[in-house]
Amino acid sequence: MTRHVVFPALLLTFFYTAACQGYGAIKSADLRCEYLTNPLGIDASNPRLSWILGSSERGEIQTAYQILVASDRKNLDKNSGDLWDSGKVSSDQSTLVPYAGKPLKSGMACFWKIRAWDKNGIPSPYSMPAFWSMGLLLPSDWHAQWISKIQKPTDPPKKGETAKPGPPAPYFRKTFDTGKKSVRRAMLYISARGMFEAHINGKRVGKDMLAPEYTDYSKRIQYRAYDITGMLRPGKNAIGAIVGDGWYSGYIGGIMIRNYYGVQNGLLAELRLELSDGSEQTVATDASWKCSLGPILDSDMLLGETYDARKEIPGWDGPAFDDSVWENASVMDKTDAPLVAQHAEPVQVVKELRPVKMTEPKPGEFVFDMGQNFAGWARLKVMGPSGTTVTMRFAEMLNPDGSLYTANLRRARSIDRYTLRGGGQEMYEPHFTFHGFRYVEITGYPGKPALDALTGCVITSTTPQIGTFDCSNPMVNKLVSNILWGQMSNFISIPTDCPQRDERQGWMGDAQIFIRTATYNADAAAFITKWMQDVADEQTPQGAFTDTCPFIKGLGGDGAPGWGDAGIIVPWTFYQVYGDKKIIGDHYRSMARWMDYLQGGNPNYLRKNLLNNNYGDWLSIKANTPKDLLATAYWAYDARLMSRMARVIDNDSDAARYEDLFRKIRAAFQKEYLSPEGRIRGETQTGYLLALYMDLLPEELRVKAAQYLVEDIRSKGWHLSTGFIGVRHLAPVLTRMGYPDVAYRLLNNDTFPSWGYSIKQGATTIWERWDGWTEDKGFQDPGMNSFNHYSLGSVGEWLYSSVAGIDLDPEKPGFKHIIIRPVPGGGLTYARARYQSIHGLIQSSWTKSLNQLSLLQKSRLFDTALLLSFGHPSPGGGRNRLLSNDFPCPPTGEKRLRDRGLLLKNSFSF
* Residues annotated catalytic, as ranges: 503, 768
Q: How far apart are CA 563 and CA 545, in angstroms?
A: 8
Hey, is 736 helix, strand or coil? helix
Q: Is 651 left (phi over 0), alpha (psi -120 to 50) or beta?
A: beta
The whole-angstrom separation of Cα 315 and Cα 890 is 71
For 893, the enclosing helix (H) or strand (E) is helix 891-899
| 338 CB burial (10 A radius; 0-12, 13-18, 19+) | exposed
Q: What dihedral angle (degrees, nearest 10) is formed by the CA atoms of 633, 636, 642, 648?
A: -90
Its sign, for the CA torsion 678, 682, 685, 686, is: negative
Q: Which of 164, 335, 167 minimizes the C-alpha distance to 243?
A: 167
CA distance 255 to 396: 22
Q: Quick one: which of 420, 219, 416, 456 has its CA closest to 299? A: 416
What are the angstrom distances between the C-alpha of 574 and each of 402, 543, 584, 595, 858? 44, 22, 9, 19, 31
Is the CB of residue 615 less than 8 Å from the CB of residue 548?
A: no
Maximum CA extent, the chain: 88
**Rounded to an integer, what distance in angstroms lies between the CA atom of residue 12 and that of residue 828?**
13
Do 519 and 569 contact (CB within 8 A), yes or no? Answer: no
| SS3 track for 647-693 | HHCCCHHHHHHHHHHHHHHHHHHHHHHECCCCCECCCCHHHHHHHHH
* CA–CA distances in Å: residue 543 to residues 52, 188, 535, 571, 649: 39, 38, 12, 17, 21
**What's phi and psi for 515, nearest 5 deg?**
-60, -35
DSSP 757-799: HHHHTT-SSB-SSTTSEETTTEE--GGG--S-B-GGGTTHHHI
| E strand residue ranges, 228-313 | 236-244, 266-275, 280-284, 290-293, 296-300, 304-308
DSSP bridge partners of 835: 467, 842
The whole-angstrom distance between residue 270's C-alpha and the CA centroid of its chain comes to 29
Q: Which of 772, 729, 779 is nearest to 753 (CA)?
A: 772
Residue 248: closest CA among 300, 206, 172, 209: 300
Cis peptide before 603 (omega within 30 of 0): no
What Å distances lie between residue 658 and 595, 635, 723, CA to CA? 9, 11, 29
**Strand partners of residue 29:** 52
* Gap between the Cα atoms of 465 and 350, Å rounded: 11
Q: 66 to each of 89, 115, 123, how far by Cα in Å?
A: 6, 5, 9
The helix/strand/coil state of 412 is coil
